[in-house]
Amino acid sequence: MMGKFEDSVYDLIVETSTNLPGDVRRAVAAGRALEDKATRSGLALATITQNIGMAELQVSPICQDTGMPTFVIHTPVGVNQLEMKRDIQSAIVRATRDGKLRPNSVDSLTGANSGDNLGEGTPVIHFEQWEEEHIDIRLILKGGGCENKNIQYSLPAELEGLGKAGRDLDGIRKCILHAVYQAQGQGCSAGFIGVGVGGDRTSGYELAKKQLLRKVDDTNPIPELRQLEDYIMENANKLGIGTMGFGGEVTLLGCKVGAMNRLPASFFVSVAYNCWAFRRQGVLIDAGTGEIREWLYERGFGISAGAGAAETSLDMKTGGAGESGVPGVHPAAGESADTASGAREIRLTTPISEEDIRRLRVGDVVILSGELHTGRDALHKHLIDHESPVDLNGAVIYHCGPVMLKDEEGWHVTAAGPTTSIREEPYQGDIIKKFGIRAVIGKGGMGARTLQALQDHGGVYLNAIGGAAQYYAECIKKVDGVDFLEFGIPEAMWHLTIDGFAAIVTMDSHGNSLHADVEKDSAGKLALLRETVFK
């Protein structure tokens, strides 16, 4: 029975992880059309577009964080759901082995990575029955960085900048604006949000996530909610947060709101924030054979996420491998050149001297060559009271948990974008000083303690483009080694040789932080949206 079902689920997983759907690509293209090309956000969007194309072409993960696989399934009465569950699990294991999913299931008490994406609570599978003849199976791969920016409000509430949010449509409006504001660039804006109004704390979030299954360009059948969605789409972009929190015109690409009944005492507004790498797809499956009958969202093939005109991504600008994959010519080492956006472009090779670092300013584009070392949560915690296995003097630490595959020749990088840096805020400043690190690469920015350490010691924070996992994987030329593989593949310390790795200085050694500036500026803009809109 259903002999092809496992293959069909495997195909759905690969498609979801590697080929961004048509409606999402069109939303990214619409965003690009609104953004000034010659800005940091314009560059970031161009890089994102390039990455979407590379992932499709190479059938490789769009982002290295392939998220928590979440299936929403409708089956005809009488279909064996236990058998389906086993097939889904084996498709997940196969997709992980093939590098289409990163091993992402971690034991919460021991920290052990199961290695195959199976474990207590993973994957998430919601079954429901229906009286149709086919099986409808939808999959969302939502990464941890944007999941961390989900937020739930309990009304009435007092919201920063917006004042009182009551139990009415205007109160909901304020919650949604606040949700976009508090995410800043950390969930890899420009994002998509699903909002659940009502329910309890659990069903409210479920409703919010279900909104993410709607097509980006659909219209809400409930008039008040349609109005609210339109209002949010128009006004959230006035916050000026921009792509990756770089500041700019485009912060939100989609907003979908649903409502359900609540208890008299509770009024929850639950917001599910999804990054631009909005990976969800679905298939209609023949309940007899298990074969795919139909894709439920337009597939991405041939749909440009670009705005049409030929524009410059970080990569093309710096003369690296462009969309054609043809490497260009880099300026000589250490040479700086001015670019169309007015940003200075500076080439550095590791190890980096204090003098070179002190010359960098917020807004500079740095093109790195040499070696870098990945490190995220487990490593930072470890380094606080242990020595490093390699010399980190003048070194570059990359907040990254890559997708890696091993064959006879050794390890290969399959996807390697940055992770959210703010999680390392409690450790980073001390670690920079203890080991003499000169540059930290990540995304979303860091806080006051790190900024102080950068100033005291002579260091910079470089913001890479979140989700651009194929783009960065191409800059990694060699895997030199690995330490702490026992932390699991994403958390291990990978030693990598890079060439032409481009990122933007967003915190420098002179006390400047673009993140602090954008946050302050957007707080001011949020307060302008305080007046009641829905009476």
Q: Which 498-527 residues touch ligand LMR, going by CB under 6 A? A: none
Q: Which 275-294 residues touch ligand SF4, going by CB under 6 A? A: 275, 277
Give the nearer residue to ligand SF4 in terms of CB position, either 145 or 247. Answer: 145
E strand or H helix that includes residue 390: none
Stretch that binds ligand SF4, among 142-150, 173-181, 349-357, 485-493 (CB under 6 A): 142-150
Give the nearer residue to ligand LMR in terms of CB position, either 267 or 398. Answer: 398
From the list 187, 196, 258, 300, which residue makes contact with ligand SF4 (rule: CB under 6 A)?
187
Stretch that binds ligand LMR, among 92-100, 139-147, 454-462, 481-489 (CB under 6 A): 139-147
Q: How far is the CB of 494 from ligand LMR (least distance, A)?
A: 13
499 binds ligand SF4 (CB under 6 A): no
d(CA 459, CA 394): 9
Residue 401 site contact among ligand LMR, ligand SF4, none (CB < 5 to 8 Å, cut-off depends on kind): ligand LMR
493-507 and 365-374 beta bridge pairing: antiparallel
Q: How far is the CB of 420 from ligand LMR (least distance, A)?
A: 3
145 binds ligand LMR (CB under 6 A): yes
Q: Is residue 370 left, alpha or beta, with left meaning phi > 0 and alpha meaning psi from -120 to 50?
A: left
Tokens of 431: 């670690």
Distance of CA 260 to the CA centre of its chain: 29
Q: 206-236: buried (b, 16+ CB within 10 Å) or exposed (e) per residue?
A: bbbbbbbbbebeeebeeeebebbbebbeebb
Q: How many CB atoms lie within 10 A of CB 312?
A: 19
143 binds ligand LMR (CB under 6 A): yes
Q: Which 436-495 residues touch ligand SF4, going by CB under 6 A? A: 466-467
d(CA 272, CA 177): 13
Q: How far is the CB of 377 from ligand SF4 (least distance, A)?
A: 14
Q: Which 400-419 residues touch ligand LMR, going by CB under 6 A? A: 401, 419
Enumerate the β-bridge partners of residue 332: none
Residue 277 site contact among ligand LMR, ligand SF4, none (CB < 5 to 8 Å, cut-off depends on kind): ligand SF4
65 binds ligand LMR (CB under 6 A): yes
Give the nearer residue to ligand SF4 in terms of CB position, either 185 or 320. Answer: 185
Enumerate the β-bridge partners of residue 136: 74, 284
d(CA 495, CA 527): 45
Angle at 527 between CA 526 and CA 529, to 5 degrees: 70
| DSSP helix/strand/coil, 472 | helix
d(CA 365, CA 345): 5
From the list 420, 450, 470, 509, which residue makes contact with ligand LMR (rule: CB under 6 A)?
420
- Matching residue, tokens 């597939």: 299
Stretch that binds ligand SF4, among 79-87, 88-96, 141-149, 473-481 (CB under 6 A): 141-149
Stretch that binds ligand SF4, among 81-89, 143-151, 432-440, 516-524 (CB under 6 A): 143-151
Give the nearer residue to ligand SF4 in terms of CB position, either 228 or 250. Answer: 250
From the list 2, 20, 172, 188, which residue makes contact with ligand SF4 (rule: CB under 6 A)?
188
144 binds ligand LMR (CB under 6 A): yes
d(CA 363, CA 515): 11
Kindly list the distances between the CA atom of residue 481 and the CA atoms of 188, 244, 262, 371, 493, in Å, as whole numbers in the listed order: 29, 30, 54, 11, 9
* Spatial CA neighbour of 30 closest among 254, 313, 323, 194: 254
69 binds ligand SF4 (CB under 6 A): no
488 binds ligand LMR (CB under 6 A): no
* Ranges assigned E (strand) in 175-322: 191-197, 252-259, 268-274, 279-285, 292-295
Q: 488-517: buried (b, 16+ CB within 10 Å) or exposed (e) per residue?
A: bbbbbbbbbebbbbbbbbbbbbeebbbbbe
Stretch that binds ligand LMR, among 28-36, 137-145, 162-170, 216-224 (CB under 6 A): 137-145
Please say whether the beta carbons of 419 and 377 come within 8 A. no
Give the nearer residue to ligand LMR in terms of CB position, either 267 or 276. Answer: 276
417 binds ligand SF4 (CB under 6 A): yes
Give the nearer residue to ligand LMR in terms of CB position, either 103 or 290. Answer: 103
95 binds ligand SF4 (CB under 6 A): no
Give the nearer residue to ligand SF4 in terms of CB position, either 220 or 421. Answer: 421
Q: Residues interacting with ligand LMR, by CB under 6 A? A: 64-65, 143-145, 188, 401, 419-420
Q: Residues interacting with ligand SF4, by CB under 6 A? A: 63, 65, 143, 145-146, 187-188, 275, 277, 417, 466-467
